[in-house]
Structure 1
Amino acid sequence: MAKIHPQAPLSSSSLGYFTSKQETFTIWMKSLIVNGHGCTVFDSNGQIVYRVDNYDSRCRAKVHLMDLRGQILFTILRKKYKLLGLWEGYRSSIGKEINRENKPGFQVKRSFRGKSACKVIVGLDKDQTQQYRIESWSNGKSACKILDKFGRLVAEVRRKQSSCGVVLGEDVLTLVVEPFMDHSLIVGLLVVHGLINCRL
């Protein structure tokens, strides 16, 4: 069986959620759980770094972004006002379920105008907030890019190609993250994008 993750790079990447160079990941829109829904994220060495497992249905109102060991990194909740398309992400500091009294680390609002699919606000519990937007193309199902408030590219997702240029299936994607961005945050935002489009 052919591997879906990239070949190992010449130099090893830094550990942790931030790196000083551009990083490439492979997203497989499949859960590691049999008959489950979710996605699995591989680093450039082919190691699993993030995963989402929905056991019973797609488009759940509550999803956990976890690391390989099942430690919760973000709990993502869809708020009650479904027509407005509002999701909140709560960062876990101890790898477990969040306390309901915690403030969200990010908020994603669905936009119904123009190319911009979502408006993102990060750092809701601090004086300084950061704003991003998620723009979709290809009918909004898979390919998208995350831009900062100045329109600079922060991360991009597209269909994965093999080393000989063959485009792989719709469930195998390439994620490119620019330097000094929190990888877990970017993946959390992409999880919301997948929930919006009923991919998870």
Structure 2
Amino acid sequence: MEDQPWFRVQKEYKILKKEGRYNVRAVVEVALTGEVYRIIDGASHKLEYRIISAGGEVLAEIRRKQTDTGVVLGDDVLSLTVGPTADRLLVVGLVVVCGLLDCCI
């Protein structure tokens, strides 16, 4: 019996690709359900991401955490906002994928 991966992550490269509405960092395919998610870059900083479903629904946003006075904390201090329909364990797994893509974990 051959072991099948639970999910597959494919990093997107900008070579010979047309510019779209947003910059896709990676495409994630969940093997058990066949669902596809995209990790896209945030507009203002390298360490900000959105996780969207194939239908375009934003499932989660990852941002650098700020204090109440607006001071941005370190690169490894993040704020995670998860939508009501998102699978929280999957989102946490995708946050780890984001950290591995940036080589900060």
TM-score by length of 1: 0.44
Q: Which has the higher contact order (CA 8 A, sep 6+)?
A: 1
Q: Offset of 1:112 from its aligned partner?
A: 0.5
Q: What does 1:1-200 align with in structure 2 at a 5 Å threshold? A: 101-113=2-14, 114=19, 115-122=23-30, 124-125=31-32, 128-137=33-42, 138-139=45-46, 142-200=47-105
Partner Cα distance (2:75, 2:99) in 1: 13
Letter in 1 for 2:34: T
- Measured after TM superposition, the shift of residue 197 of structure 1 is 1.2
Q: What is the percentage of aligned positions where both structures have the same residue?
A: 40
Larger radius of gyration: 1
Taking the aligned partners of 1:119 and 1:153, their CA distance within structure 2 comes to 14
Rate the CA distance shift 1:133–1:158 in 2: closer, same or farther, 3 A. same
The answer for unaligned runs of 5 or more in structure 1 is 1-100
- 1:174 deviates by 0.3
The offset of 1:180, in angstroms, is 2.8
The 3-state SS of whatever aligns with 1:190 is helix
The Cα RMSD (Å) is 2.0
User: Secondary structure in 2 aligned to 1:120?
Assistant: strand
- 1:148 deviation in Å? 0.7
1:149 deviation in Å? 0.8
**Secondary structure in 2 aligned to 1:108?**
strand
- Count of paired positions: 96
